[in-house]
Amino acid sequence: MADKMEKKGTILMQKYELGRLLGQGTFAKVYLGRNLKTGQGVAVKIIDKEKVMKVGLIQQIKREISVMRLVKHPNVVQLYEVMASKTKIYFAMEYVKGGELFNKVAKGRLKEEVARKYFQQLIAAVDFCHSRGVYHRDLKPENLLLDESGNLKVSDFGLSALFESKRQDGLLHTTCGTPAYVAPEVISKRGYDGEKADIWSCGVILFVLLAGFLPFHDTNLMEMYRKISKGEFKCPQWFPPEVKKLLSRILDPNPCARMTLAKLMENFWFRKGFKQIEVPKPNLDEGEATPRSILEIQSIIDLEPESGSKKEEGATSSSSTMRPTCLNAFDIISLSPGFDLSGLFEKDTNHKAEARFTTKNSASTIVSKLEEVALMESFNVKKKDGTVKLQGSKEGRKGQLAINAEIFEVTPSFHVVEVKKTAGDTMEYRKFCNQDLKPSLKDIVWTWQGCDQLLQQQQ
């Protein structure tokens, strides 16, 4: 039976009246709504809390809330309010009537002036996001909406990253985005600058607006990735010379040589008719203070499990403390040795101190087995965010051996575990991998990749 909170005419939290259904996905439905106090039309996104908790998407929801409250710009879909009940999470957002920019492009290429206007608004929005430490990571025409006046609005920040998400190397490491629009360094899984990756996606969008088709397209996915990695594309003859030159600088496969947003916004072709948008400052008196981190979202909305599912104080069961990372299409492709793209970007890939195995066992079983190995070999164990960290207690040639075993979920009954040395001597790691780890896990492992190669290198 449909949730009573999702029926047309329902009054939500005594603030919004729900109207017709605008769209729905696996975990959420979006309704047209009306603010009862102001009469303003809004889009109300209703998320099933239990479903997102079950599949471990809570951090993604937190991130989306944090980012949307942080980024307030005329060319970004605005988040007005976040509310919650015991079973639902509610986003009251700006209602953008004009639909997706993708629908316009699907009818054919746009005129240069129109494409430039949309591109200018896109860049203005992305530049503002970057100034707030936010990287979208999934820019494409489907995520660009148009209002009734034909102005562009960037939406769908579910895959975005905050500046604080960077590792110590200053780079992002989560592979995400849409294949045809993603930057080559993202595919390589070697770490990437979120700003430069977004700029690449903007370049692909500009090409699509002016051409009506993708610059890197091939029915063979790996051939398309090869073209992306080499920056192989050809501009149609109707592209103005200055646009061809601009795209060659934006779609440079070397992120270090790629055009920056600052340089792009100084470009002569880009600046034609460009109007600098005044961004309103947050009205702190009206509660528009913007949280700077994902952690602060906990004070906005309670996303923890209901009381009936809370674990007991002091509980340390593997299943309750571990949430495997879900693999996306990029990860699955790159895990296969035949589809490993790292050779396109890195030299000497044969000597990486890592191995991986697949298993049909649950995450809790994997963790239990790793804990058994750790106990036998006097390793200390820490578990965090889908990773089991094994820290050796004995001094080796280069200090204590440290190993990370990251668990990835392909399906609930199929996992991939990536084992990497994070500290210590590589030879000692290889010996441990082949003589201790591999034999101890033989009961749960389906296939290994890497251990045999490591043994051969050692010999």
Which residues are documented as binding site for ATP?
45
Helix %, strand %, coil % of the chain (to 5): 40, 25, 40
* 302 belongs to the catalytic site: no
Q: What is the DSSP letter of 108?
A: -
Cα separation, 270 vs 123, whole angstroms: 10
∠ CA(260), CA(263), CA(269), 5° rounding?
Answer: 120
**Residue type present at position 350:** N
**φ, ψ of residue 402 in degrees (nearest 5):** -130, 135
Catalytic residue among 3, 48, 138, 285: 138
Cα separation, 193 vs 264, whole angstroms: 17
* Residue whose structure tokens are 């696996």: 26
Q: Counting beta carbons within 10 angstroms of the beta carbon of residue 196, is it exposed (0 to 12), middle (13 to 18) or buried (19 or more)?
A: buried
**φ, ψ of residue 341 in degrees (nearest 5):** -95, 0
∠ CA(280), CA(286), CA(289), 5° rounding?
Answer: 70
b/e burial code for range 244-273 (CB count within 10 A of at least 16 → b):
eebbebbbbbebeebbebeebeebeebeee
As separate numbers, helices (DSSP H) first and strands (DSSP E) second, the chain gives: 16, 17
Angle at which helices 194-211 and 241-250 cross, to 10°: 150
Concatenate the DSSP letters of all residues of 352-375 into one string.
Answer: -SEEEEEESS-HHHHHHHHHHHHH
Q: What is the DSSP letter of 429?
A: H
Contact 74, 151 (CB under 8 A): yes
Where is 224: in which H helix or E strand?
helix 221-230
Annotated binding site: 45
CA dihedral 101, 105, 107, 112 (to 10 degrees): 120
Q: What is the DSSP letter of 442?
A: T
Q: Which residues are catalytic?
A: 138
